[in-house]
Amino acid sequence: MQIAIGLYPGFTALDAIGPYQVLTLAPDAEVVLCAAQKGDLVDDNGLLHLDITHTFDEVARPDVVVVPGGIVTRRLARDRDPIVDWIAGAHPHSTYTTSVCTGALLLGAAGILDGLDATTHWCAYDELADYGATPTERRVVHEGKVWTAAGVSAGIDLALTLVADMHGEEVAQAIQLAIEYDPQPPFDSGAPSKAPAEILNLVRAITQAKVAAVLA
Amino acid sequence: MQIAIGLYPGFTALDAIGPYQVLTLAPDAEVVLCAAQKGDLVDDNGLLHLDITHTFDEVARPDVVVVPGGIVTRRLARDRDPIVDWIAGAHPHSTYTTSVCTGALLLGAAGILDGLDATTHWCAYDELADYGATPTERRVVHEGKVWTAAGVSAGIDLALTLVADMHGEEVAQAIQLAIEYDPQPPFDSGAPSKAPAEILNLVRAITQAKVAAVLA
């Protein structure tokens, strides 16, 4: 079972590492971190330097495609970055094609989400709809083999439900216990429908400014 | 506000990246990933290759010390790895000294936990007690400036409560919403007191075998 996490400069670290942590604990999983080029690849903070060992061409037909998000996805989707072609080429052969956060926009650009329910980071619902998807505020949305997760941290929930689907509930429970995933968020406001309006507006404004900078 | 995440070969990725994701969004935060040596550093899967840019010596007095865990911590603690000396040297000057998962064993080896309540990955409670700490099954334990978190995924909760303490609840809420941290674990069994006995015994046996291999 080859599980490919597709990366690009500017990805958001937890989007990738949440699923990575869960999926590397799954039985018989060959997890591969791949990108357009080998070598140095930096996250959206410019701080986390990964040394990528596999190109997209070398991981052309994985069983599971995982696409993390990041602010830069808007530009990658617009400019049809190599990751979009990789997703489009891999999807017809995959068992699952999945995204975390605005990784969904890359699935959208690859033509996979047209007519489907899907989710993404709550700041990107309108952009998701541009690809013909119906955005919905849910943690993980399943449409056949296309699974999309909400923002950043939702990749952990995506991966655990994926493991349960692949290997059964006991394996998923064991991994959940191994990573002691008994979350206790300090506030009950981690989703747009739950957050105070002023916090929501603040985060939306900051995000929109970052998106504008990336598209400029 | 310099926040140093101290790493070593064999660290567990999510232990580090959970806090990293939260803390890089905090105001005026200078987050630094440091290790004994610059250059390539690999996680416990041998898959995630980081390019480390700062040595411990270059980050000798951070405001916040964050120590992720990993199976290998037992050997690092026993052999007084350079990270133990780094923690011991940084702690007297820090504003917060924190750990995720079995990073607590490295705090223990540095002599910081003697007489304190603390937590760690649930498989390591006995080892934590060997350092004079009183292990407790809580998500995050605060003892003055020494904050310890439970296994792997608990670093997200640690970091959000840390941001709330440093910058107030509104900033922490904004970051929680930015990473859409509204967790929905598929099972309510992510802590030892909640897990079915057979799952608990399975994960404990696997972990003990990994620990034995690391100490051999």
Measured between alpha carbons, how far apart are the two ends of chain A, in Å? 40
Residue B106 falls inside a structural domain: yes
Q: Output the pLDDT for position A33.
A: 97
Residue A145 falls inside a structural domain: yes
Residue in chain A lying closest to B174 (CA): A199
Residue B201 falls inside a structural domain: no
pLDDT tens string B2-23:
999 999 999 999 999 999 999 9
Q: What is the CATH number of the domain that holds B171?
A: 3.40.50.880
pLDDT (mean) for B159-180: 98
Domain tally, chain A: 1
Residues of A whose CB is below 8 A from B31: 45, 47
Tell me if ipTM is over 0.90.
yes
- Best CA proximity match to B162, nearest among B99, B84, B120: B99
Helix (H, G, I), strand (E, B) or coil at A33: strand
Q: Output the pLDDT for position B130.
A: 98
Contact A191 B182 (CB under 8 A): yes
- Which residue shows structure tokens 């809580």? B138
* A187 touches B at CB < 8 Å: yes
H or E, element range at A187: none
Pairing verdict, β A96-100 and A30-35 = unpaired
H or E, element range at A66: strand A64-67
* A205 touches B at CB < 8 Å: no
- Which residue shows structure tokens 């999926």? A23
Residues of B whose CB is below 8 A from A161: 186
Rounded CA gap, B198 and B195, in Å? Answer: 8
* Contact status, residue B128 vs residue B104, Cβ threshold 8 Å: yes
Residue B193 falls inside a structural domain: no
Contact A194 B183 (CB under 8 A): no
Average model confidence (pLDDT) across chain B: 97
Q: Which of residues 140-159 of A touch B (CB under 8 A)?
A: 140, 150-154, 156-157
Residue B209 falls inside a structural domain: no
Q: HEC states along chain B?
A: CEEEEECCCCCCHHHHHHHHHHHCCCCCCEEEEEECCCEEEECCCCCCEEEECEEHHHHCCCCEEEECCCCCHHHHHHCCCHHHHHHHHHHHHCCEEEEECCHHHHHHHCCCCCCCEECCCHHHHHHHHCCCCEECCCCEEEECCEEEECCCCHHHHHHHHHHHHHHCHHHHHHHHHHCCCCCCCCCCCCCCCCCCHHHHHHHHHHHHHHHHHHHC
Query: Tokens representing A4?
Result: 């490919």
Q: Which of residues 27-56 of B touch A (CB under 8 A)?
A: 31-33, 40, 45, 47-53
Rounded CA gap, A97 and A75, in Å? Answer: 21
pLDDT (mean) for A165-171: 97
Reported as a pLDDT band with limits 50, 70 and 90, residue A83 is very high
pLDDT tens string B189-204:
999 999 999 999 999 9
Residues 6+ apart with CB under 8 A from B129: B135
pTM for the complete prediction? 0.97
* A21 touches B at CB < 8 Å: yes
Contact A40 B51 (CB under 8 A): yes
Contact B50 A49 (CB under 8 A): yes
Rounded CA gap, A99 and A69, in Å? Answer: 8
pLDDT tens string B68-89:
999 999 999 999 999 999 999 9
Rounded CA gap, A150 and B81, in Å? Answer: 39
Reported as a pLDDT band with limits 50, 70 and 90, residue A27 is very high
Residue B202 falls inside a structural domain: no
Contact B172 A164 (CB under 8 A): no
Instruction: Provide, rounded to the nearest whole percent, the portion of chain B with pLDDT above 90.
Output: 100
Buried b / exposed e along A162-200 (16+ C-beta atoms within 10 A) = bbbebbeeebbbbbbbbbbbbbebbbebbbbeebeeebb
Contact A202 B139 (CB under 8 A): no
Measured between alpha carbons, how far apart are the two ends of chain B, in Å? 40
| Biggest CA pair distance of chain B | 48
pLDDT tens string B31-60:
999 999 999 999 999 999 999 999 999 999
Q: Output the pLDDT for position B204.
A: 97
* A191 touches B at CB < 8 Å: yes
Q: Give 3-state DSSP helix, strand, coil % of chain A, rounded to 5.
A: 40, 20, 40
Query: Tokens representing A70?
Result: 């990041």
* Contact status, residue A154 vs residue A104, Cβ threshold 8 Å: no
Q: Output the pLDDT for position A216.
A: 94
Helix (H, G, I), strand (E, B) or coil at A36: coil
Q: Output the pLDDT for position B123.
A: 97
Respond yes or no: is residue A101 known to be catalytic: yes
Amino acid identity at A68: P
Structural domain of residue A89, as residue ranges?
2-183
Rounded CA gap, A42 and A50, in Å? Answer: 6
Residue A201 falls inside a structural domain: no
Residues of A whose CB is below 8 A from B66: none
pLDDT tens string A137-149:
999 999 999 999 9
- HSE-up of B104 (CA within 13 Å, CB side)? 40
CB atoms within 10 A of CB B143: 16
CB atoms within 10 A of CB A130: 12
Q: Output the pLDDT for position B179.
A: 98
Residue B190 falls inside a structural domain: no
